[in-house]
Structure 1
Amino acid sequence: MQIKKLMAGLSLAGLLLLGGCSNNKKADNDSDVKHVGVLQVVQHPSLDKAYVGFKKGLKKGGYVEGKNLKIDYQNAQNSQDNLKGMSEKLVNEKSDLILGIATPAAQSVANSTQDIPVVVTAVTDLKAAKLVDSNAKPGRNITGTTDMVSIDKQIKLLLSIVPKAKTIGVMYNAGESNSKIQGDLAIKALKKAGVKVVVKTANTTNDVQQVTETLAGKVQGIYVPTDNTFASAASIIGKVVKEKKIPLVAGSTDQVKTGGLASIGIDYESLGEQTGKMAAKILDGKAKPADMPVEKAEKLQLVVNKKMAKALGIDPNSIKAPK
């Protein structure tokens, strides 16, 4: 009888031990899951594709949602209040890493944490946005990819489409630092080419249609940089320029597809993928943001909206990338 009791006790102890091992194993598995926060400033094709690409880059780096990766995605819908609250939420949840998509989102995350590793994408100039000490050596908890492309080439493209133009319009949101930087570069390039420039700005998507209609009546061509406000209203812009027969070159290739004529620009999905690969190295512990140089887009492409070209009476095959 005593032997049976002893055996039963040993069996119970064994079960408890195994149960403890099982619980420890589960805890170990939970600790292997990386928590990544994502803050996107607003929804539009370019930024949406950057997020899709980011997840692809993470996957190529060995991080897969539902296995060893959990993503908390937040979209601020262009609200400053949302940006602040969502940034704080991602920080308070003790994310292992946070992604900021577009300059306002990146700046909001940067203001919320100096400790959690942060990567950003779709930001024109990280140094000018005060996110890094320098592009070569960020020096802080932030690094990422820039969507800056050659504004000179984009202006040359526009002027090759309307070689007789005397006046060119430039539209952007002056409240977005990335847009202001690009706008100033475009104005400089146009003046250097001997062309008169008319500048119109809009702070919200509600103002875009009126601004575009006003500008279209004064110019022979329009340039729009990679601007979140104008990108969000790309289809509205497209209707206006189509009706007014005004060629529009955009900084974003996605805006061309929904309302512009042409662009030499970035594939935002590829840019996001680059960023995801950078994030994977940080999550692996193989690199720190402070030491990771800011990366430029690996791929640029000429995109022409053939339907828009035909509507404007332009042969789409005549539009070539300037050298």
Structure 2
Amino acid sequence: MTMRRRGFLRALAGGVLLLPLVGRAQQAKRKPKLGVLIGFAEDDPRTKRSVAAFLKGLADLGWVLDRDLTINFRYGAADADRNRSLAKELVALNPDVILVNSTSATAAVQRERSTIPVVFATVSDPMGSGFVASLARPGGNITGFINVEGSIGGKWLELLKEVVPRTRRAVLIFDPATATYFDYYWKPFEVAARAAGVSPLLLTVGNPAEIELAFATRDRDDGIVAMSDPFLTVNRTLINEKALQFRVPVVSGASRSGSLISYAPDTEDIFRRTATYVDKILHGASPADLPVQLPIKFELSINLKAAKALGLTVPPTLLAQADEVME
């Protein structure tokens, strides 16, 4: 064998040995893909703040957008049918992780029956909705952060009664298409209402006309509680307008909604915390082993302008507890 042929064979053998190493190096450099389905409208200021909080959480963990990972955003705008269509789109992109916001959007992603890891933010009743086997051990490919515990339904009623002592009937409104979990809040709401001598009523709304009718048919001693519900959150401006038009006090389950009283978890804090689970999964953790997390920060917002328009006086003790007072 000539020296030139031996050199060629050594070079060929070295190249063959290097191929797996080069392949692994190229694979290691592949940027992870993240799919995001937000259940609310893209142009909603609350949505923008929540998304910014999530991106800030990723940045704090060392992830630089476009350099370290790519993100495909979709926005469902509180439309259950749109959520299903967008969930199908995202799953088809085969991202490494899907971040999803709202119960309706999470259900849409789950319906695709993929094995892609999913992290949810601000979901109500994940066990009752069938997303996880338990809070401590989710057991599947889905985990995340609860919007709020069902017991807050009783707290909403107590706040209504505290600000409007004359309340004799309390109406819990929701959209059955986006708040399939309504019973999660209704039961504690009903118990608290009866304990306070208030008649609890449950009312469904699904479009602006039904929202107006809900207010137009109320009496002087009625109050409305707007459940934590994407449809109601998207239509919060209309709800507040009708509250003043028909002089009906409203307690909202959406943070800083502009209603007479708003009491809810800090949504931006929840989105910031979801980044930690996305980071863990991208580093190899399994959603099945990541316990579902509860909210740790709540916000009480009081609208004194609305109170004045309704002829109400907010107790000083309640004002002292508020995180935000709108004057």
TM-score (norm 2): 0.82
1:63 is paired with a residue of what secondary structure? coil
Gaps of 5+ in 2: 1-18, 323-327
Aligned to 2:205: 202
Aligned counterparts, 1:106-255, within 5 A: 106-149=106-149, 150-175=152-177, 176-215=179-218, 217=219, 219-255=221-257
Aligned counterparts, 1:1-323, within 5 A: 27=26, 30-31=29-30, 33-43=31-41, 44=44, 46-149=46-149, 150-175=152-177, 176-215=179-218, 217=219, 219-255=221-257, 257=258, 260-285=259-284, 287-316=285-314, 318=316, 320=318, 321=321
CA distance in 2, matches of 1:266, 1:184: 20
CA distance in 2, matches of 1:206, 1:27: 56
Aligned 8 A contact 1:208 1:230 in 2? no
1:144 is paired with a residue of what secondary structure? strand
The one-letter amino acid of 2:283's match is D
1:244: Cα distance to partner? 2.6
Aligned 8 A contact 1:119 1:142 in 2? yes
CA distance in 2, matches of 1:25, 1:134: 37
TM-score (norm 1): 0.83
Higher relative contact order (CA 8 A, sep 6+): 1
CA distance in 1, matches of 2:82, 2:176: 20
1:295: Cα distance to partner? 0.6
CA distance in 1, matches of 2:314, 2:175: 29
2:34 is paired with a residue of what secondary structure? strand
CA distance in 2, matches of 1:183, 1:131: 20
The one-letter amino acid of 2:251's match is V
Aligned 8 A contact 1:47 1:122 in 2? no
Change beyond 3 A, Cα 1:248–1:319: farther
Aligned to 1:17: none
CA distance in 2, matches of 1:205, 1:63: 41
Change beyond 3 A, Cα 1:112–1:170: same
Decide which moves more: 217-226 or 123-132.
Answer: 217-226
Deviations 1:55-87 (A, max 9, x none): 222222222212212110011234444322321
Gaps of 5+ in 1: 1-19
CA distance in 1, matches of 2:220, 2:201: 8
* C-alpha RMSD over aligned residues: 2.5
1:241: Cα distance to partner? 1.2
The one-letter amino acid of 1:261's match is L
CA distance in 2, matches of 1:201, 1:294: 29
Change beyond 3 A, Cα 1:26–1:60: same
Count of aligned pairs between the two proteins: 295
